[in-house]
Amino acid sequence: MIQANSEILPPILIIFLLLASIYTLLRFCESIKKDKLVTPWLVISGITYGLLIITLTNFFILLPFLIVWLYNITIKVKRLKYTLIFLMLSLTPAFLSTMRNFIHSNEPVIICYNGGINFYIGNNSDIKRTVSIQPGYQWDSLMTTAYITERITNFGEMQNFWYRKAFQFIIHNPLKWMGITLKKAILFFNAWEFPRNTDDEFFNNYSIVNKTPFLKANLLFPLGFSG
């Protein structure tokens, strides 16, 4: 994930925020059992999880499950209070990001508008081409499709345009889509990590971090599941 001494990719921040949120949430649980001051740990956990959401919006999906879990483990007297604190703090960064987008673009875009194009890239009939598009003419051509075909110029409608195209493919080609999803699941758990559009071997010659012998994913997953 670190290709050079000076290049830090988003997964580094995502992993840090995720681990920080989990750690502080566990410390909150321990504090409840020991009847200690619990609010600071809960506040830090909520803030870090909120930052995690705006870093990778997929973690929005996990939030309802976290809320239910938090509600069940806390004491009955303060159950609602703690749950609401965590929920409000987790949603605050997303709310501020949305407000910022509305102020600058006059559109209610939640966090970012690239969710549609990202979803389409992995869910269409020509997925081999879309996932391998490189920066340059091909990428620019894809990104201008919404304007060329429907004269869409604002970010919100552009996002909806790509979501519509992806869901049209899913609805009209359910078996093909399930095959693509199965293949993506297999590749996700595969030990081979697909390279980015940069020469990792070149950066390896100058990166101290990349020379560290980390374990492969196919060895880490069983250890992670076993605890």
pLDDT tens for 61-95 read 889 998 998 888 877 767 888 889 999 999 999 89
> What residue numbers bound the domain in which 23 lies?
1-112
> In the numeric block, which tokens belong to residue 130?
């879309």
Q: Does residue 23 carry a pLDDT above 70?
A: yes
> In the numeric block, which tokens belong to residue 19?
């681990």
Whether residue 140 is contained in a domain is answered as no
Whether residue 157 is contained in a domain is answered as no
169-185, pLDDT tens digit by residue? 999 999 999 999 998 88
Q: Residues 116, 158: contact at Cβ < 8 Å?
A: yes
108-117, pLDDT tens digit by residue? 777 777 888 8
Average pLDDT along the chain: 81
Residue 58 CB partners (closer than 8 Å, separation 6+): none
SS (HEC) of the chain: CEEECCEECHHHHHHHHHHHHHHHHHHHHHHHHCCCCCHHHHHHHHHHHHHHHHHCHHHHCCHHHHHHHHHHHCCCCCHHHHHHHHHHHHHHHHHHHHHHHHHHHCCCCCCCCCHHHHHHHCCCCCHHHHCCCCCCHHHHHHHCHHHHHHCCCCHHHHHHHHHHHHHHHHHHCHHHHHHHHHHHHHHHCCCCCCCCCCCHHHHHCCCCHHHCCCCCHHHHHHHHHHC
Whether residue 214 is contained in a domain is answered as no
The predicted pLDDT at position 218 comes to: 63
Number of domains in the chain: 1
Whether residue 32 is contained in a domain is answered as yes
The predicted pLDDT at position 181 comes to: 92
Q: State the average pLDDT over residues 31-40.
A: 71
Whether residue 2 is contained in a domain is answered as yes
Q: Residues 113, 156: contact at Cβ < 8 Å?
A: yes
- Percent of the chain residues past pLDDT 90, beyond the cut: 23
120-152, pLDDT tens digit by residue? 998 998 888 888 887 788 888 888 888 888 888
Q: How many residues does the chain have?
A: 227
Whether residue 133 is contained in a domain is answered as no
Whether residue 221 is contained in a domain is answered as no
Cα distances (angstroms) measured from residue 29 to each of 15, 78, 87, 199: 21, 13, 16, 44
Strand partners, 4: 7
Q: Does residue 46 carry a pLDDT above 60?
A: yes
Strand partners, 8: 2
Whether residue 80 is contained in a domain is answered as yes
